């Protein structure tokens, strides 16, 4: 420790803090032992020069006295006889120690503690191992289901959400013991449904294994869970891009400008007519309305968007999609048909960009009606 005294405010507030917050209280016993031992490596100081400050043994004695008064504990039990003897002699040479001196002794003591390193095992499991018996089983179980920075999400949550057929297919390829662990982690209802789908032989083997399962560690169970989710991902993963490629292209072309859309489809027909036909069947555009919309649903379609949108779409369709415009007019009430015809005539010719935007908005409105279950589109094969 440093030989010179620090000023009284060097650790302002330490002595007035509650005992549980005093800085040296949380140090491990072996660290305290090493620090105290380090303070007693020098010979006992000359008491005649005590006005210069406590010597190393006396500083160690002050720390032991403070530790005992604040925690009720003492490291004497872990020290050898020689060190204890020196500490007793040091205490015998002390009477009153003022606050400034105590603060300095604590500061020096913390400096010695800081010179020791601590190794922490990484991860939640490492932290549990380091703490040993201080972590209860309830806390351990809760930690196993709590995602942290170094712990991935609980795989069993994903497994519980899997389809029955998926789980059946996976555990049919595993040992009965693994199958038993999987079923034990699921709800009784879902486990029963899975058992019913297994072959009688495998179901019996899994049930027998479930009866014989002993204590299994959390790590092992979670490793099995991750293996099951990995197997499910391997069988179901179609790549980073969702959905079917033909449907993806069709969805994109649905909302492409009409001229660009027809140009792309024409080019695709020249290179692969069959694939182009598949794409067209997945598409639904303003042009497809006569073939995909039931006559009785036309009034709903017109009401799916704002009046300005339907008028703009019809005005643009008069030139490029006349069949669709006539289909809509023919299946509305006479009054509404005449009203829309008049409004279309009033706005005159519209820009192709505005027409495409309005037609796409109408198509989206139709899709919304379909998703809400208010209408059913006619499939291309019908």
How do residues 271-296 score in pLDDT, each as one tens digit? 888 888 888 888 888 999 999 999 99
Dihedral sign, CA of 195, 199, 200, 204?
A: negative
pLDDT at 298: 95
pLDDT at 216: 77
> Over 90: is that where the pLDDT of 205 sits?
no
> Over 70: is that where the pLDDT of 65 sits?
yes
Q: Which of the given ranges, 4-13, 115-124, 346-355, has the highest pLDDT on average?
A: 346-355
> Over 80: is that where the pLDDT of 24 sits?
no
What is the band of 300 on the pLDDT scale with cuts at 50, 70, 90? very high
CB atoms within 10 A of CB 92: 10
Percent of the chain past pLDDT 90, that is, above it, reads 19
Measured distance CA(190)–CA(194) in Å, rounded = 6
pTM: 0.39
> Over 50: is that where the pLDDT of 46 sits?
no
pLDDT digits (tens, 9 = 90+) for 152-196: 467 888 888 888 888 998 888 888 888 888 888 888 888 888 888
Q: In order of start, what are the domains of the chain with their CATH numbers?
A: 8-114 (no CATH), 152-236 (1.10.220.30), 284-371 (1.10.220.30)
User: What Å distances lie between residue 29 and 25, 33, 79, 253, CA to CA?
Assistant: 10, 6, 10, 72
pLDDT at 158: 84
Q: Are 53 and 5 in contact (CB under 8 A)?
A: yes
Q: Which long-range contacts (C-beta less than 8 Å, at least 24 apart) are formed by 226-235?
A: 226/152, 226/155, 228/155, 228/159, 228/167, 228/170, 228/171, 228/182, 229/155, 229/158, 229/159, 231/170, 231/173, 232/158, 232/159, 232/162, 232/166, 232/167, 232/170, 235/166, 235/169, 235/170
> Over 60: is that where the pLDDT of 30 sits?
no
The burial class, CB within 10 Å (0-12 / 13-18 / 19+), for 183 is buried
**Mean pLDDT calculated for residue range 234-263:** 72
pLDDT at 255: 77
DSSP 212-253: H-----HHHHHHHHHHHHHHHHHHH---SS-S-HHHHHHHHH
Percent of the chain past pLDDT 70, that is, above it, reads 69
**151: three-class secondary structure by DSSP:** strand
CB atoms within 10 A of CB 322: 10
> Over 80: is that where the pLDDT of 359 sits?
yes
What is the band of 119 on the pLDDT scale with cuts at 50, 70, 90? low
> Which residues, at least 6 apart from 349, have a Cβ–Cβ distance to it below 8 Å?
315, 319
pLDDT at 330: 95
């Amino acid at each position: 420790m440093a030989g010179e005294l620090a000023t009284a405010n060097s650790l302002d507030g330490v002595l007035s803090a509650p005992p549980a917050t005093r800085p040296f209280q949380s140090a491990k016993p072996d660290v305290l032992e090493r620090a105290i031992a380090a303070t007693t490596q020098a010979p006992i100081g000359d008491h005649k020069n005590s006005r210069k400050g406590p010597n190393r043994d006396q500083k160690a004695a002050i720390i032991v006295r403070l530790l005992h008064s604040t925690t009720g504990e003492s490291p004497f039990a872990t020290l050898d006889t020689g060190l204890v003897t020196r500490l007793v002699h040091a205490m015998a040479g002390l009477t009153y120690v003022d606050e400034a001196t105590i603060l300095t002794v604590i500061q020096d003591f913390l400096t010695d503690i800081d010179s020791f390193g601590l190794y922490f095992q990484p991860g939640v499991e490492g932290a549990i191992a380091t703490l040993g018996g201080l972590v209860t089983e309830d806390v351990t179980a809760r930690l196993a289901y709590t995602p942290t920075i170094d712990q991935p999400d609980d795989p069993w949550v994903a497994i519980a959400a899997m389809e029955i057929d998926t789980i059946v297919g996976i555990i049919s390829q595993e040992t009965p013991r693994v199958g038993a662990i999987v079923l034990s982690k699921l709800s009784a209802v879902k486990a029963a449904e899975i058992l019913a789908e297994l072959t009688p032989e495998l179901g019996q083997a899994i049930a027998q294994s479930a009866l014989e399962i002993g204590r299994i560690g959390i790590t092992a169970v979670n490793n099995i869970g991750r293996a099951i989710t990995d197997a499910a991902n391997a069988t179901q993963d179609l790549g980073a891009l969702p959905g079917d490629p033909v449907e993806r292209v069709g969805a994109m072309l649905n909302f492409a400008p009409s001229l660009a859309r027809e140009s792309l489809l024409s080019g695709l027909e020249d290179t692969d007519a069959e694939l182009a036909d598949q794409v067209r069947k997945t598409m639904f555009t303003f042009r497809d309305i006569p073939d995909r919309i039931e006559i009785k649903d036309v009034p709903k379609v017109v009401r799916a968007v704002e009046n300005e949108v339907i008028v703009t779409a019809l005005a643009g369709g008069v030139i490029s999609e006349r069949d669709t415009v006539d289909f809509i007019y023919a299946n509305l009430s006479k009054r509404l048909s005449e009203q829309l015809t008049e409004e279309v005539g009033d706005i005159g010719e519209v820009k192709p960009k505005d027409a495409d935007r309005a037609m796409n908005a109408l198509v989206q409105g139709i899709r919304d009606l379909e998703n809400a279950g208010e209408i059913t589109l006619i499939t291309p094969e019908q």
